[in-house]
């Protein structure tokens, strides 16, 4: 089930084909546009497909924390790094539902549940299926991120009523092996195929600020935009550096380059929700406002994003009021 939004009543035509295949060079050319021209073009595309002042709000809960066997170089939950994070067991259903009710009361329309697994075993999946069923009964959309799926698991999630499955590709194909070595990009793409085949909406994006080049950012956007079809939801994450991980001293991305990445995602994936995802805690209000101007129309809402900080709900409410934004 895809969230419904009011479409803009009138908008200028940006002449962007819905299913164009994008080359890396074409996306690099978008990045090279004067900043105002890029944002203007992104805003045109945005208004053709969405209410430009409506932001979808999701809440993300860590239902199983730490102890992951993967070596993703940015992640606090890898068992390979000493980040001070304690491994925790799967949360009980009642605690998940308590968090889901609180999220709905604060205005979230989607409840996302993340587990630090390479991939779920069958015994792990059963209680997650119960979580999906019960959260759906609360009137919330559901999303899970559980790692790589085995045959048949996506179908089980679909039968439980899952709306979205999140599985990010993180970075460009060329840069991938410098960030993760315990699996390949193709492994992640295979899971996305299983999710699509089961009829579940795909949530898939990436991370910037990993030390990648601008060409690598363009290649990430090209990889996402050229999926068939593009993801329904595209989270663009600004790396939150975690002490003890290999990337805790990575060179931060320039804020304007982050906004350019949001704009490029909007132009190349005009019908997708583009989420201003991790890293908002480190952004000032002006940067976030420019991201919304560039076509971001989804955020994570709530004080925690798995194991990292996120702006508190009251701060987001005040920002929305100042900008005249409404939540959906």
Catalytic residue among 47, 57, 143, 188: 143
> Are residues 76 and 130 in contact, defined by beta-carbon separation less than 8 angstroms?
no
Does the active-site annotation cover 143? yes
Catalytic: which of 47, 110, 203, 291? 203
CB 124 within 8 A of CB 144: no
* Catalytic residue from among 72, 196, 204, 217: 72
Q: What is the rounded distance in angstroms from the CA atom of residue 281 to the CA atom of residue 275?
A: 14
204 is catalytic: no
* Residue 278 region by backbone torsions, left for phi larger than 0, else alpha for psi between -120 and 50, else beta: beta
Residues 6+ apart with CB under 8 A from 194: 149, 151, 153, 154
In sequence order, the 6+-apart residues with CB closer than 8 A to the CB of 40 are: none
Pairing of strands 304-305, 308-309: antiparallel
Catalytic residue among 41, 112, 280, 291: 112
Cβ within 8 Å of residue 68, ≥6 positions away: 75, 77, 78, 79, 116, 117, 118, 147
The answer to whether residue 291 is catalytic is: no
- 300 token code pair: 């994570």
Q: How far apart are CA 319 and CA 251, in angstroms?
A: 28
Residue with tokens 């380059």: 257
72 an active-site residue?
A: yes
Residue 54 CB contacts under 8 Å (≥ 6 apart), including other chains: 5, 6, 297, 325, 326, 327, 328
**Nearest Cα to Cα of residue 135 among 158, 167, 169, 101:** 101
Q: Which residues are designated catalytic?
A: 68, 72, 75, 112, 143, 203, 275
């Amino acid at each position: 089930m895809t969230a419904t939004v009011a479409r803009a009543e009138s908008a200028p035509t940006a002449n962007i084909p819905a299913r164009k295949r994008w080359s890396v060079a074409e996306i690099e050319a978008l990045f090279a546009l004067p900043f105002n021209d890029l944002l203007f073009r992104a805003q045109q595309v945005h208004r053709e497909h969405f209410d430009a002042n409506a932001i979808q709000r999701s809440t993300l809960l860590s239902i199983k924390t730490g102890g992951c066997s993967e070596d993703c170089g940015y992640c606090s939950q890898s068992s390979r790094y000493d980040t001070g994070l304690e491994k925790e067991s799967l949360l009980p259903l009642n605690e998940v539902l308590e968090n889901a009710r609180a999220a709905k009361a604060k205005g979230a329309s989607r409840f996302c549940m993340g587990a630090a697994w390479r991939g779920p075993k069958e015994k792990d999946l059963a209680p997650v299926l119960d979580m999906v069923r019960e959260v759906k009964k609360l009137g919330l959309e559901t999303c899970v991120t559980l790692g790589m799926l085995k045959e048949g698991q996506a179908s089980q999630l679909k039968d439980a009523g899952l709306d979205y499955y999140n599985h990010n590709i993180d970075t460009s194909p060329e840069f991938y092996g410098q960030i993760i070595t315990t699996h390949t990009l193709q492994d992640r793409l295979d899971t996305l195929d299983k999710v699509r085949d089961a009829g579940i909406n795909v949530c898939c994006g990436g991370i910037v600020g990993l030390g990648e080049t601008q060409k690598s950012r363009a290649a990430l956007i090209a990889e996402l935009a050229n999926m068939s079809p593009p993801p329904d939801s595209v989270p663009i994450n600004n790396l939150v550096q975690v002490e003890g991980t290999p990337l805790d001293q990575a060179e931060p991305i320039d804020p304007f380059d982050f906004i350019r990445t949001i704009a490029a995602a909007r132009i190349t994936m005009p019908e997708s929700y583009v989420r201003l995802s991790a890293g908002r805690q480190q952004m000032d209000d002006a940067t976030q406002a420019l991201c919304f101007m560039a076509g971001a129309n989804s955020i994570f809402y709530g004080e925690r994003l798995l194991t990292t900080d996120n702006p508190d709900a009251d701060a987001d409410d005040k920002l929305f009021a100042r900008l005249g934004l409404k939540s959906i």
